[in-house]
Chains A and B, each alone.
Chain A
Amino acid sequence: MKKLLISLYFLLCIFLTSCSTALVVQSTAPIIVMDTFVSITFYNVDNYEEYYQGVKKIYNDVNRVCSDYESNYLNNSIYDLNVKRCIEADELLIDIIETALTICEETNGYYNPFVGRLTHLWKDAINMNQILDSKIIDEELTIINSTSISIENNKVSLIGEGNLDLGGIAKGYATELAKKYLDSNKVTSYILDAGNSNIVAGTKNGRNFIIGLTDPITRNTFAKLKGTNLTIGTSSIQYQRMQINDYYYHHLINPHSGMPENKYDSISVLCDNSIIADAYATAFFSMDLDDIKRIIEKQDIDVIILKNSEIIFQTLGDEYYA
């Protein structure tokens, strides 16, 4: 009798536990910034709406100062800087610019915030199924190499004819701020997806996330990564490309040659910082593999590099693969 009652007690416990630990998925509306839909899903998070609004504000704040298409109410966006050549910038913009310049130096100029004008010209050419004229490329490279920036207190000045474009870092920067904001509020159970190119996965209510990486050519999943607290930045030719004679012309321009490189189809960078993941994935896309290896030896980052539907180089341990 006693044994039966104990068994009954345990069975009741199992039943009640299985009911009470059901995963509550709190999917929120996408945040539309920087030509991207940013999506965040919470799992069993109290007051998740409040944190969603906090994350939304971060992306909007970064977008407000980093936009190179429009001014803002304080006239201190990148658009204003490119037009007026000198602005009174706020702390947020100054920090993003300084971060961009640091990464430019660390990557030997393969991430370059002054390449934006040339990138826009390439995008326009690709949209018209055209290849950019080599004379224009040479002129733009000269401008890029002769442009610099000066920051004194809150006064930011562009020197030279080139424009500043923080498109290659703004999303990663906002994602990193969002991650820190959620961490500071002890929110750990979420996944934040900034247009597939920036993903931050905390935990799925304590469990692993499984994240698929897509081959940009075949659209098949070529790797499934599992884990918690993953920060992934990916550069690929999935979008904004055209193909002529087996060569892909795309939006990831080598700042040294002025050309879109075809060394790789997709590069994913994993590290603990979304800014590094975003900007380094962009820089690596134009680098030779040996140069990439030299850089990752010095930094605590991992990469997965895809070419012709094969992983040609990766540094992750087996425990990361699902």
Chain B
Amino acid sequence: MRKFKNDVFLIAGIFVVLLIGLIVYGFVTSKSGKQAVVYKDSEIMMTIDLDENNEYIIQGEISELIIIVSDGKIKVKESGCENQYCVLDGYISRENEVIVCLPNHIYIKIIGSE
């Protein structure tokens, strides 16, 4: 009878550990990978964590670009390009969304999170 009781405690303990594991795993993976990759031509310039609000200045082909990260979204705030399409595109935040500045050869792509 005592052995049975110990088995129940053991299995219940394993249940609890597994449940905690599932919760932690779910939490970690749900937060993972909300990033933007900034390319100049085909080379990665930097990878930006979208969970941290910040401002970045990068050097493009013809001008500097100011990039803003705010509340999980990213946009080009300023660029010296003539047409300003990259600025007009505004914020992006969904996986595979991109901002392109062709005159500056800059390509920003969201990866890893829906």
Q: Which residues of B contact A27 (CB under 8 A)?
A: 37, 109, 111-112
A58 on the B face (CB < 8 A): no
Expressed in whole angstroms, the Cα–Cα distance for A4 and B44 within the complex equals: 51
A212 on the B face (CB < 8 A): yes
Residue pair B41, A8 in contact (C-beta under 8 Å): no
Within 8 Å by CB of A15, from B22, B95, B102, lies B22
A266 on the B face (CB < 8 A): no
Q: Which residues of A contact B37 (CB under 8 A)?
A: 27
Q: Give chain B's interface secondary structure class.
A: mixed
Expressed in whole angstroms, the Cα–Cα distance for A283 and B62 within the complex equals: 34
Residue pair B107, A37 in contact (C-beta under 8 Å): yes
B4 on the A face (CB < 8 A): yes
CB closest residue in chain B, given A30: B107
Known: A15-B22, A19-B25. A4 touches B109 (CB 8 A): no
Q: Give chain A's interface secondary structure class.
A: mixed
A103 on the B face (CB < 8 A): no
A11 on the B face (CB < 8 A): yes
Expressed in whole angstroms, the Cα–Cα distance for A195 and B100 within the complex equals: 9
Within 8 Å by CB of A8, from B15, B39, B90, lies B15
Known: A25-B33, A219-B88. A11 touches B41 (CB 8 A): no
Question: Which residues on A are within 8 Å of B, measured CB to CB?
Answer: 1, 4-5, 7-8, 11-12, 14-15, 18-19, 22, 25, 27, 29-32, 35, 37, 39, 41, 191, 193, 195-196, 210, 212, 219, 238-240
13 contacts across the A-B interface (CB closer than 8 A): A4-B11, A8-B15, A15-B21, A19-B25, A25-B95, A25-B111, A25-B112, A27-B109, A30-B109, A32-B42, A191-B96, A238-B85, A239-B85
